[in-house]
Amino acid sequence: MVIDALTIKTTKADHSRLAETDFSNVPFGKVFTDHMFTADFEDGEWKNFQILPYGPIAMSPAISALHYGQTIFEGMKAYKQVDGSVSVFRADKNFARFNKSAVRMAMATIPEDVFMQGIAALIDIDKAWVPDAENYSLYIRPAMFATDPFLGVRPSETYKFVVLTSPSAPYYSKPLKVKIETRYTRAADGGVGAAKTGGNYSGSMLPALEAQAEGFDQLIWTDSKTNTYVEESGAANLMFVINGKIVTPEVRETILDGVTRDTIIQLAKSMGIEVEERRILIQEVLDNIENGTLTEAFAVGTAATVTQISEISYEGKGYTLTDPATRTVSIGIAKKLNDIRYGVTADEFGWNWTI
């Protein structure tokens, strides 16, 4: 498909912070590159395409995003290839999901050219910020929020689209000790659990803090109706290896359709590993840990990538899993994924978009 080039006004930063940045110490989401991309939806169309120095955005305190939560975002990554080029991983999937979230939140959808060319222009101007260390990347955060200065409960008629980029180290540095949560729920049937909207994440913070106070790293969310099925792990999708087969909760309106989740499933199948997508009972997980047939559990997501789970707790009882260092299925898939993302091996799936 041929896309006409956008006219993007570029204002370069007077001073680059690149030389002042310690790339060996870049906590996730705290260090930002020199520039950002912005666009506005006004009068029924997208306009004002700009690359600007990273910094504050002027807005009214009455904008509806602040009062009624019309806000969505995506998370994706760019990688330094072994040949020195930079590529973005599976941007088309993130674009499609961004608009799916927009529709659910009654927001304006964004054209493909605005989304893709905005990201490409931003990465091109800040290409030197892409780390080249192992397991490092440039995190990309497209976001959209409602900007009508109006205190009324209705969809906004104006929106701002922003793309931020941030050099990123590995999100988790060790396997996770998690708790199965049965009091709080992340999402309910008929709700917005399948959209990447801010309210899903703000509602998860108190349960996460309470779990951390009990010594856990993260939660496993359960269904809102019965609290008997596992759904997600924190802000990531959840996978188990049972009898050598990957078993993962099926995508439904309470579970985010993760890009990394889809990637892992495709990679596993290409490696001859069977994958089963279905609802999974808590009791099935616990029984299979105890009888030794559940050998691996891991969280998958853009930030988490593939993060091992070492212990699962349920109603005060801890269930210890196999040593993460000895796991073969998830480690093998993670290696193949990294080799593709960094250009070590051929991208047989066509996932890398070279900038």
Q: Please check whether residue 171 is in contact with residue 305, taking contact to mean a CB–CB distance below 8 angstroms.
A: yes
The whole domain housing 324 covers 176-341
pLDDT of residue 205: 94
**Residue 348 is assigned to a structural domain of this protein:** no
Do residue 193 and residue 159 come from a single domain? no
- Checking if the pLDDT of 133 tops 70, the result is yes
Q: What is the dihedral of CA 64, 66, 69, 72, to 10 degrees?
A: 100
Cβ neighbours of residue 126 closer than 8 Å, sequence gap 6 or more: 33, 34, 35, 165
Do residue 266 and residue 164 come from a single domain? no
Cβ neighbours of residue 58 closer than 8 Å, sequence gap 6 or more: none
Q: Read off the pLDDT of each residue in 80-96 and give the average, rounded to a whole number.
A: 95
- What gap in Å lies between CA 291 and CA 83, rounded to an integer? 47
- Checking if the pLDDT of 172 tops 80, the result is no
* φ, ψ at 81 (rounded to 5°): -80, 160
The H-or-E segment that residue 276 falls in is: strand 275-277
pLDDT of residue 4: 60
Do residue 253 and residue 224 come from a single domain? yes
**Residue 346 is assigned to a structural domain of this protein:** no
Neighbouring CB atoms inside 10 A of 31's CB total: 18
Q: Please check whether residue 302 is in contact with residue 28, taking contact to mean a CB–CB distance below 8 angstroms.
A: no
- Checking if the pLDDT of 13 tops 70, the result is yes
- What gap in Å lies between CA 45 and CA 317, rounded to an integer? 55
Collapsing DSSP to helix, strand or coil, 117 comes out as helix
Q: Read off the pLDDT of each residue in 94-101 and give the average, rounded to a whole number.
A: 97
For the ranges 2-11, 35-44, 81-90, 102-111, the lowest mean pLDDT is seen at 2-11
- What gap in Å lies between CA 353 and CA 86, rounded to an integer? 8
- What gap in Å lies between CA 241 and CA 194, rounded to an integer? 24
Do residue 142 and residue 261 come from a single domain? no
Do residue 157 and residue 228 come from a single domain? no
Of 170, 193, 217, the last residue of a domain is: 170
* φ, ψ at 182 (rounded to 5°): -125, -5
Query: In the chain, pLDDT over 70 holds for what percent of residues?
Result: 99
pLDDT of residue 2: 41
Q: Please check whether residue 351 is in contact with residue 89, taking contact to mean a CB–CB distance below 8 angstroms.
A: yes
Give bridge partners of residue 146 from the DSSP assignment: 159
Do residue 197 and residue 129 come from a single domain? no
- Checking if the pLDDT of 114 tops 70, the result is yes
Percent of the chain that is helix, strand, coil (3-state, to 5): 25, 30, 45
Do residue 138 and residue 194 come from a single domain? no
pLDDT of residue 302: 87
Q: Read off the pLDDT of each residue in 157-162 and give the average, rounded to a whole number.
A: 98
- What gap in Å lies between CA 110 and CA 114, rounded to an integer? 7
Of 142, 170, 198, the last residue of a domain is: 170
Express each pLDDT in 219-263 by its tens digit. Answer: 999 999 999 999 999 889 999 999 999 999 999 999 999 999 999
pLDDT of residue 305: 86
Higher-confidence residue: 6 or 108?
Answer: 108
Alpha helices (H) along 14-90: 64-68
Do residue 13 and residue 155 come from a single domain? yes
- Checking if the pLDDT of 137 tops 90, the result is yes
Structural domain tally of the chain? 2
pLDDT of residue 28: 87
CA dihedral over 129, 85, 306, 203, signed as positive or negative: positive
- Checking if the pLDDT of 83 tops 80, the result is yes
Q: Read off the pLDDT of each residue in 100-126 and give the average, rounded to a whole number.
A: 97
Express each pLDDT in 268-292 by its tens digit. Answer: 999 999 999 999 999 999 999 999 9
**Residue 350 is assigned to a structural domain of this protein:** no
pLDDT of residue 1: 38
Do residue 166 and residue 189 come from a single domain? no
Express each pLDDT in 291-342 by its tens digit. Answer: 999 999 999 998 878 999 999 999 999 999 999 999 999 999 999 999 999 9
Residue 148 DSSP one-character state: -
CATH code of residue 329: 3.20.10.10
Do residue 189 and residue 142 come from a single domain? no
Express each pLDDT in 175-200 by its tens digit. Answer: 999 999 999 999 999 999 999 999 99
pLDDT of residue 228: 96
Q: Which amino acid is at 97?
A: R
Residue 157 DSSP one-character state: S
Side-chain half-sphere CA neighbours of 218 within 13 A? 24
Do residue 329 and residue 202 come from a single domain? yes
